[in-house]
Amino acid sequence: MRVLLDTCAFIWLCSDPENFSHDARDFLAAESGWELYLSDASVFEIAIKSAQKKIDLPDTAHDWIQTQIGIWGIVSLPISQEVIFASTGLPWHHKDPFDRLIIATAAQHEIPVMTPDKAISQYDIDVIW
């Protein structure tokens, strides 16, 4: 099964997995054939928050993200123009532009999103948490 990690799910997977819900942990433990995906929107968000000192990473954002993608075998999903335009057409349940890009990416690729963000579950996509 394929699953798109939102930004905090990616960070928690890599550094603080006990923050995952029981359902999310059970999913990851039970799904031996899952493929993890990460939107470039999350990469952008982490890089910005790291540069602003809003999150503390053990390395540069670039090196930490690339290392974690390699460790977990995560597939990167680029932010296409189609995703950008789709994100602007979504209902405004969520105003965060990074989350809107993640939602549009999930919809475009028909992939569920692993996220604790309740606002994301208001969209017409599957959410695992």
Per-residue pLDDT tens digits for 1-19: 899 999 999 999 999 988 9
Which CATH number goes with the domain that contains 57? Answer: 3.40.50.1010
Per-residue pLDDT tens digits for 32-45: 678 999 999 999 99
Cβ–Cβ under 8 Å, residues 10 and 49: no
Q: Domain range holding 39?
A: 2-128
**Whole-number pLDDT of residue 82:** 98
How many domains are there within the chain? Answer: 1
Q: What gap in Å lies between CA 81 and CA 19, rounded to an integer?
A: 33
Average pLDDT over residues 73-86: 97
**Whole-number pLDDT of residue 31:** 64
Does the pLDDT value for residue 47 go beyond 70?
yes
Q: What gap in Å lies between CA 35 and CA 74, rounded to an integer?
A: 7
Does the pLDDT value for residue 99 go beyond 80?
yes
DSSP element (H, E) containing 127: strand 127-128
Q: What is the DSSP string of 56-77?
A: --SS-HHHHHHHHHHHHTPEEE
User: How remote is the C-alpha of 111 from its chain's centroid?
Assistant: 11
Q: What gap in Å lies between CA 84 and CA 79, rounded to an integer?
A: 7
With H, G, I as helix, E, B as strand and everything else as coil, classify residue 89: coil
For residue 24, which amino acid is it? A
With H, G, I as helix, E, B as strand and everything else as coil, classify residue 113: strand
